[in-house]
Structure 1
Amino acid sequence: MPGKKCVAWLLFLWFSPSFAAPGADVPKQTVRTISSGDMLHWGIGLLIVLGIFFLCVWSMRKLSGITAYGAGKMRIIGSLSLGVRERVILLQIGKKQLVLGVTPGRIDALHVLEGDDCLSTSAGMQEASPSAGIDNGFAQKLMQAMKGRSDG
């Protein structure tokens, strides 16, 4: 019981200045209004931040166009969908061609083609017309290669 009395006295002493008489001198805080100058400063600050943001976005777009050395020598020649999320891709890197199996969680090199074993050459790719369908040619050559492997 004496502990409760001590707590009550401490609370009374702590909060007693807030219950002072209305005539007592209590410093009043002035409420500051928002002026047009404040709005102008906030607007300018916002425009500066947005300008920096858009400058960063623009510079990232420009820098992403820069390719690393040798990245221009790599290209996808064709692909074949094996299912909803599985694909076989023919990738040319320099004079080599890679047959890759691509799934959502993994990329496997199925076969490496070099020299005369390549399924298509860069000259043949340039001569092919857009209406010829590069993907269909790759699919046919891949099917022929798979049939040749299963026959032997």
Structure 2
Amino acid sequence: MKKLLFLCSGSLVGLPLSVWAAANSASLPAAAPSSAGSLLQVLFALALVLGLIVAAAWLMRRFSLVPGGAGGQLRVVSGVMVGPRERVVIVEIQQSWLVLGVTSGQVNLLHTLDKPEGVVTPTPAAPAFAQWLQTAIEKRKVGK
């Protein structure tokens, strides 16, 4: 039991155990710190931080276009990447479509179109997520 406690006290998962072990260090045998254990701990922490950065970047990119912006009057209909930092985007505002060229430094109006008759623009997936989030919050409140 004491060996297991000593092994767990060096990891990030066993941080509370390491505090307890430091308080009761008289009962544990003195041992030299393991360089392999320290290296493993650093690599685990590095992987955790890099994973959080990648997850945050993915979330920022995934949810960058907020539907219902500008009071529901402005909506992105379609967009396509034409270069590493260039996009052509069709934006619907009232009854017209604007074809925009978007780069990292500016936005240019390329063309203006009347909204075509009978064209059904796809509904964004964010309302479904918003509805799911609302039900999850309500379930959590009911469970408390």
Report the TM range for the smaller structure's normalisation.
0.3 to 0.5
Higher Rg of the two aligned structures = 1
Give TM-score scaled by structure 1 length. 0.32
Which of the pair has the greater relative contact order for Cα pairs under 8 Å at 6+ separation?
1
Choose between structure 1 and 2: higher helix proportion.
1
